Structure 1
Amino acid sequence: MDNKRPIIIGVTGGSGSGKTTVSRAIYDQLNGESMQIITQDTYYNDQSDMTMEERKAVNYDHPLAFDYDLLYEQLNQLRHNQPIEMPVYNYVESTRSKDTIHIDPPEIIILEGILILDDQRLRDLMDIKVYVDTDDDIRIIRRIQRDMVERGRSLDSIINQYLKTVKPMYHQFIEPTKRYADIIVPEGGQNQVAIDLLATKVRDILVNRGHQFEK
């Protein structure tokens, strides 16, 4: 293992599974280390050449909705200790913003998203692959709460999208990637034991690289 390249932790699971909570919990456990959370949602395709009606018709839970090439390219750049200009996705306009975020190579990268294990190139870059496994009922409730509060969507639109695309895409594309995971975490962010184990594993890798932790 290259002692100079970032450790890459992949955290996946269905929408509303708690993968973001798990990612944040790992981040908090390793507070003080050089870390960056990167979300796959940032890498939705640029749709500036499409009408708003066409953008609304896109299946955002399908692998084709994501720019895997750019995500792989930028993750590989960070892996080789090169900075990137990370894209910014505008959820209101349903396309990529003209703005970018400058990211310097950190020591630890947490890559979080629903389909990060679907692409073999991404899987091959990861040191630890985590699948957050949560019941469908819990996930839809969390999605409703999030999309109504954070994205200003109506209850009907959320339920219609869930039944039409989110649930079938989960069973077709996301759940099958569970077989690639090194660790399966039930109950998401509520599973403190799993989060503690993950943080301990990352610390062990850093120690093996000669990293000194403050006592």
Structure 2
Amino acid sequence: MLIIGISGGTGSGKTAISEKLKKEFGESDIGFISQDSYYNDNGNLSFDEKNKINFDHPDAIDFELLINHLNLLKNGKNINQPIYSFIYHNRTEKTKLLKPKKIIIIEGLLILNNIKLRGLIDLKVFVDTTKNLRFKRRLNRDINQRGRTAEEVIELFNSRLNKMHNLYVEPMKKICDMIIDNNKENSLEISPLINVIKSRL
């Protein structure tokens, strides 16, 4: 099993790369784990308390469960991934079955900030994108997929997201095996990554 970690700022294109890899290698050989599924279960908190959580800080992630699930997959066991609601800020009652695959992609802002998790990743990839382009993509996503207003996204980006990016995400670029430039609209090139993956299978 080859475990690939894809990190980078919010809106950098991590999910877009994952989709391209799925198309290249096929669903039978590739499985996906999103960091977003492993936010701490905040079901016991009030909605106001949930809104105060810094979801862009490593403490917001249930790394223990994520590491456990990754180890289970490496040992040939199925896992039931949590499904997280970004509208209600808690895990839903449903889970998603993931079986061991030849390639496992784990993607997220903070996956490289945990030393134990980082040690399980065979190939570390960073998606490099400018602040302005990341903001534009985050704005579109949160309005269309997460039920947020433009004002909420702008406030979040300016008050917290950019600061957390500089503290926790950008510094991880220097430890990655590959950096992918994704600063051109509709022109994401991942052939070098595909070639490296094929050479390691």
The bucket for the TM-score relative to the shorter chain is over 0.9
| Separation of aligned partners in 2, 1:148 and 1:169 | 21
Following TM superposition, by how much is the alpha carbon of 1:191 offset from its aligned partner in structure 2, in angstroms? 3.5
* Residue 196 of structure 2 corresponds to residue 190 of structure 1: no
Displacement of 1:32: 5.6
Once residues 142 and 78 of structure 1 are traced to their aligned partners in structure 2, the CA distance between those partners, rounded to angstroms, is 32
Name the TM-score, length of structure 1 as normaliser. Answer: 0.89
What is the CA-CA distance between 1:190 and the residue it aligns to? 2.8
Map of 1:7 onto structure 2 = 2
Determine if the alignment matches structure 1 residue 76 to structure 2 residue 71.
Answer: yes
User: For residue 30 of structure 1, what is the aligned residue in structure 2?
Assistant: 25
Contact 2:87 2:147 in 1 (8 A): no
Task: For residues 19-53 of structure 1, give each alpha carbon's deviation from its aligned partner in whole angstroms, at most 9, with x where no partner exists.
Answer: 11112112212126411111100000000110000
Letter aligned with residue 175 of structure 1: E
SS of residue paired to 2:87: coil
Counterpart AA for 2:25: L
Which SS does the other structure have where 2:82 is aligned? strand
- Which aligned pairs between 1:120-199 and structure 2 lie closer than 5 A? 120-187=115-182, 190-192=187-189, 195-199=190-194
Per-residue CA deviation, residues 40-67 of structure 1 (Å, 9 max, x unaligned), is 0000000011000000111110111100
Q: How many Å separate the matches in 1 of 2:65 and 2:141?
A: 27
Aligned residues: 199
Aligned to 2:32, the other structure's residue is in SS state strand
2-structure distance, mates of 1:165, 1:71: 24
Unmatched runs of 5 consecutive residues or more in structure 1 = 1-5, 207-215
Provide the rounded CA distance (Å) in 2 between the counterparts of 1:30 and 1:67.
29
SS of alignment partner, residue 45 of structure 2? coil
The one of 59, 67, 70 aligned to 1:64: 59
Q: CA RMSD in A?
A: 1.3
State the Cα deviation string for residues 147-200 of structure 1 (Å, max 9, x = none): 1111121110000111111110000111111122000111167341xx112112
Corresponding residue of 1:212: none
Using the alignment, how far apart are the partners of 2:147 and 2:88 within structure 1? 13
The one-letter code of the counterpart of 1:176 is P
Q: How many angstroms apart in 2 are the aligned matches of 1:10 and 1:151?
A: 24
Q: Contact 1:133–1:186 at 8 Å: present in 2 too?
A: yes
4+ runs of 1 displaced by more than 3 Å?
A: none
8 Å Cα contact 1:47-1:96 kept in structure 2: yes
Give, in whole Å, the separation in 1 of the partners of 2:42 and 2:145. 22
Give the direction of change, closer, same or farther, for the CA distance of 1:32–1:63 in structure 2 (3 Å limit). Answer: closer
Counting only pairs closer than 5 Å after superposition, residues 102-117 of structure 1 correspond to structure 2 as 102-117=97-112
The separation in 2 between residues aligned to 1:156 and 1:82, in whole angstroms, is 44
Aligned-partner Cα distance in 2 for 1:32–1:101: 15
> Contact 1:35–1:109 at 8 Å: present in 2 too?
yes
